[in-house]
């Protein structure tokens, strides 16, 4: 009985957070959008489009891709560079901040963070506290975007 109660409370909290995120980004609340945001809330790691397809089989690919596209546009999610065929997505910085209610300084908020992928378990994650170092380019080259994916072993696989 106790277990059930805990689960309901957690699910309730999650549903509120999901609706708040959609509402704050001027998005209509649909079941599909709620389920996608909910999945990201549940996961501590970045998710690929394939992960979404596997974990939300009730939606077709087109719906999922459209939802992901909308979330990228609204900056709820950000695209994570990956050298494989799969694109990964993670919550954007302002969502993260809302969720953790943590003070992130202005520089950190607008800078690009490092992404890490574990070569053992294959998980990809955002490292928002670790920023991409300053990059210098030859004269008269201009940077639009810097993406850094670090490969190695995550804590769980390393231990
Ligand atoms: Zn790992
Ligand atoms: Zn990220």
Between the CA of 131 and the centroid of ligand 2 the distance, in Å, is 10
Span 33-87, pLDDT tens digits: 999 999 988 887 889 888 999 999 999 999 999 999 999 888 888 888 776 656 7
Give the closest ligand to the alpha carbon of residue 131.
2
Nearest Cα residue to 135 out of 158, 151, 152, 112 = 112
Q: Give the strands of the sheet with 124-131, arranged side by side.
A: 124-131, 113-118, 149-152
Check whether 109 has a pLDDT greater than 70.
Answer: no
pTM to 2 decimal places: 0.73
**Please, what are the domains in the chain?**
2-158 (1.10.10.10)
Residues 111-129: tens digit of each pLDDT: 478 889 999 998 888 888 8
Output the CA 8–ligand 2 centroid distance in Å. Answer: 30
């Amino acid at each position: 009985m106790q277990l059930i109660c805990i689960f309901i409370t957690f699910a309730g909290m999650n549903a509120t957070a999901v609706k708040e995120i959609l509402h704050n980004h001027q998005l209509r609340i649909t079941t599909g959008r709620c389920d996608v945001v909910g999945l990201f809330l549940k996961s501590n790691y970045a998710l690929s489009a394939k992960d979404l397809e596997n974990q939300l089989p009730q939606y077709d690919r087109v719906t999922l891709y459209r939802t992901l596209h909308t979330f990228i546009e609204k900056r709820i999610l950000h695209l994570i560079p990956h050298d494989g065929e799969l694109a990964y997505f993670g919550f954007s910085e302002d969502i993260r901040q809302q969720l953790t209610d943590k003070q992130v300084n202005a520089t950190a908020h607008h800078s690009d963070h490092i992404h890490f992928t574990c070569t053992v378990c294959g998980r990809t994650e955002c490292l928002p506290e670790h920023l991409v170092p300053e990059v210098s380019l030859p004269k008269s080259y201009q940077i639009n975007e810097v993406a850094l994916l670090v490969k190695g072993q995550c804590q769980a696989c390393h231990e």
